[in-house]
Amino acid sequence: MKLPVVQFTIDKIAVIKEKLKAAQDRQKSYADKRRKPLEFEVGDKVLLKVSPWKGTARFGKRGKLAPRYIGPYKIIKRVGPVAYKLELRLELGNVHDTFHVSNLKKCMADDPTVIPVKDVHIDEGLEFTEEPIEIIDRDAKQTRQSRVPLVHVRWSARHGYNDTWEHEDFIKK
């Protein structure tokens, strides 16, 4: 014999579980409508994602103009359900040739309109970097409790130069 309070609580928990399940199913159906499966065939041309150098704050205004993909590269083998082997050029000889599908994008453009590798300085982790050329000016920003030393830095960019204000500690690293 169960107490009426215990039975009432068990019934309420069952109702809550049913409502949560219904809400999860509804959200899954919304997500599935927007999700498209990414699959490529052997021989397809794809672009390879190049991520900005992690840990930097200097891609502010130009970030959206920086190259996101390089290529095109030909798929030579499907390694698994979400991995593909690409035919990389000699410039990327130090980069592993197998990539997850999230780092690939189907190439719809003609070869001349795609950013070539030689225009982008890429390291082994497929990240591009900018180098500081000179410090133009120094300043300090006063906060409530401290002073933050800043330096005006000129960076080497893909086209000409780019000047930004950075924390002095960041530049020293």
pTM for this structure?
0.47
Residue 32 lies in a domain: no
Q: Say yes or no: 98 and 168 in one domain.
A: no
pLDDT tens digits for 100-147?
A: 888 898 887 665 555 555 555 556 666 666 677 788 888 888 888 888
Q: Say yes or no: 62 and 120 in one domain.
A: yes
Query: Residues near 107 by Cβ (< 8 Å), separated by ≥ 6?
Result: 44, 45, 46, 47, 71, 72, 114
Number of domains in the chain: 2
| Domain limits for position 153 | 132-172
Q: Say yes or no: 64 and 90 in one domain.
A: yes
Q: Say yes or no: 84 and 61 in one domain.
A: yes
Q: What is the rounded CA–CA span in Å between residue 36 and residue 170?
A: 40
Percentage of the chain modeled with pLDDT above 90: 21
Q: Say yes or no: 72 and 89 in one domain.
A: yes
Residue 62 lies in a domain: yes
